[in-house]
Amino acid sequence: MHNSTRTEPRIQIDVILDEEERRASLYDTTFWTLRQSPKEIPAVWLYDERGSHLFDEITRLPEYYPTRCEREILAQQAEEIAERTGAGTLVELGSGTSDKTRLLLDALLAAGTLERFVPLDVSEEVLRASAHSVAAEYKSIGIHAIVGDFERHLSALPDGDRRLVAFLGGTIGNLDPAHRAHFLASIASLLQPQDAFLLGVDLVKNLRRLEAAYNDSRGVTEAFVRNGFAAVNRALGADFVSELFDFSAMWDPENEWMDIGFTARSAHSVIIPELEVVVPFASGERLRFEISAKFRHDRLSAELRRAGLQVDAWWTDRNREFAVLLATRSPAEES
């Protein structure tokens, strides 16, 4: 489905992914990921209304450093990013409320280059609200919002002179290596020679610091992930009993990611009528909701090179816990 509306002359909203298609895709993905080893429930289930509020609370916890660190970097480097890119169009993938993005909008406007903001997000409700909010704050630019999935709908992004494509928040860490490679290759194919890619990544660091961020003292992260059971039960008619699972967010040293989910306290089965399946769990069996990969400069630069991208700049916060990098299409990729 693809429909386009103009809510006012400066705001265009394209719906590439409607709610029915989004739901069907999510149900299908859930059906198959529950057959993987370890079993997995897609992280998108975590972000219903209550989950979104809980995650917003997580970003303000003293233990949860990524949001503060990325904001620090953008506040310090936005002017240089604007100068390096001269972007006329700012694209934001997985835009959400576009909160930190305002630092980039301000810098690009101050540089006198910005003409258009293109946020892309799967949530039409959130996207419409943020598009109107940004339009009210930044009256000199056009807004072209796209309801879509950043892994599937990059081709829907409008052409433009000197686009800056931003993917912030460390969200790339939620993609496993195969999905990450595919996504980065898609970015490389998307970029024109004058375009640039701005990526926020969480870095490998002290294990205690990492584990504290996902096992906070107030238990907000656990409440956030447990809420995923309620969301699945509500939508799919499932009978997950949250109390039959122990929460754990564990560091996987081999893959260098946090593995976030549960282990079954005892053997039992879960009925999911909407998917027409019964899912058995052995005692101690893992059920993953999310991974959050952490990165090293050299290894990530190599990943980007394999995808056809080159790192032009790399900035960290003062404690070197988070990084924002600027990349362009590798010269060998240009034709």
- Indicate if the pLDDT at residue 261 is higher than 90: yes
Asked whether the beta carbons of 275 and 236 are under 8 A apart, the reply is yes
Cis-peptide into 177, omega within 30 deg: no
What pLDDT, on the 0 to 100 scale, is given for residue 48?
84
- DSSP 8-class letter at 48: S
The two tokens of residue 335 are 């034709």
Q: Is the pLDDT of residue 182 over 70?
A: yes
Return contacts of 1-7, CB within 8 angstroms, 24+ apart.
2/156, 7/128, 7/131, 7/132
The CATH architecture to which 11-19+62-205+294-333 belongs is 3-Layer(aba) Sandwich (3.40)
Confidence of residue 268 (pLDDT cuts 50, 70, 90): very high
pLDDT tens-digit series, residues 68-101:
999 999 999 999 999 999 999 999 998 877 788 9
Where does the pLDDT of residue 324 fall: very low under 50, low under 70, confident under 90, or very high at 90 and above? Answer: very high
- The single-letter code of the amino acid at 108 is L
Domain spans of the chain, in order of start: 11-19+62-205+294-333
Q: Are strands 277-281 and 286-293 parallel, antiparallel or unpaired?
A: unpaired
Rounded Cα–Cα distance for residues 178 and 268 (Å): 32
Helices and strands, counts by H and E, the chain: 9, 15
Distances in Å between the Cα of 279 and the Cα atoms of 26, 243, 282 are: 17, 17, 10
Token couple for 240: 């997950």
Mean pLDDT of 103-126: 93
Other beta carbons within 10 angstroms of residue 150's beta carbon come to 24
Q: What is the mean pLDDT of residues 115-127?
A: 89
pLDDT of residue 335: 46
The phi and psi torsions of 156 (rounded to 5 degrees) equal -80, -10
Instruction: Write down the pLDDT at residue 151.
Output: 87
AA identity, residue 81: I
- pLDDT given at position 49: 83
What's the confidence (pLDDT) of residue 95?
80
Percent of the chain with pLDDT over 90: 81
User: Mean pLDDT throughout 225-235?
Assistant: 97
- The closest of 307, 86, 93 to 189, measured between CA atoms, is 307
AA identity, residue 31: F
The pLDDT of residue 1 is above 60: no
Mean local confidence (pLDDT), 41-52: 90
pLDDT at position 96, please? 77
Average pLDDT over residues 168-184: 95
Indicate whether 133 pLDDT > 70: yes
> The pTM is what?
0.92
pLDDT class of 5 with cuts at 50, 70, 90:
low
Better pLDDT: 252 or 122? 252
Question: Among the ranges 6-15, 44-53, 72-81, 141-150, which has the highest mean pLDDT value?
Answer: 72-81
pLDDT, residue 171, reads: 93
Residue 44 predicted with pLDDT over 50: yes
pLDDT on residue 280: 98
